[in-house]
Copies of this chain bind each other. A is one copy, B any other.
C-alpha cells in the first residue's frame, strides 16, 4: 500500500500546491530559512509541468533539455513556522519564446508570507536557451489568459 503525496491542481489558470514546514526547513531563528521558500516554489513548478503533461525526467534523459531559473525576485513578508500548512499559489504572467514568467506566493491560509516573480528558461542539454515547443507555449499562454481573467 502506498499513499499519494501532496499534488496540486489548476483552477482557472491558478495552480495551488500544498507543503508543510519541517525541521529541515527551519534555522535557529525559529522560522523557515529564506532559501527554502525557493524549494517549495520549485516543487510547485514541477507539479505544474507534470499537470501540463511535461515529463521533466524523460526530457532530461532524452537530452531534450530542462527548465532552469533565469531570474527570481522574492519579497519576504511574514515567516513560516514549524508545522505550518502552506499553500504555494502560482500563475503564469508572461510567455516568451524561450522562457515563462510566473508569480508564486507562499501562503498560510489567506496570509501571503512570500511573493516571488520567477523566470524559468527552457535550456538545451548544453545549458543554452532554446525556443519552447509550440504546444507548451500555447498551454502556458492559455493558463496565463485564464489567470488574468480570474
Q: Kindly state the separation between the CA atoms of A107 and B7 in the bound complex, as whole angstroms.
A: 18
Interface residue count on the A side (C-beta < 8 Å): 56
Please state if A57 and B81 are interface contacts (CB–CB under 8 Å).
yes
Please state if A5 and B33 are interface contacts (CB–CB under 8 Å).
no
The number of times this chain is found in the oligomer is 4
A103 to chain B, nearest CB (A): 14
Q: Is A17 an interface residue (CB 8 A)?
A: yes
Digit string of A75-99 for contact with B (CB within 8 Å is 1, else 0)?
1100101110111000000000000
Of A29, A66, A69, chain B has the most CB atoms within 10 Å of the CB of A29
Q: Kindly state the separation between the CA atoms of A39 and B30 in the bound complex, as whole angstroms.
A: 17
CB-defined A-B contacts under 8 Å, sample of 18: A2-B16, A2-B85, A3-B6, A3-B8, A3-B9, A4-B18, A5-B6, A5-B20, A23-B28, A24-B35, A24-B39, A24-B42, A31-B127, A34-B68, A34-B69, A34-B72, A68-B76, A73-B74
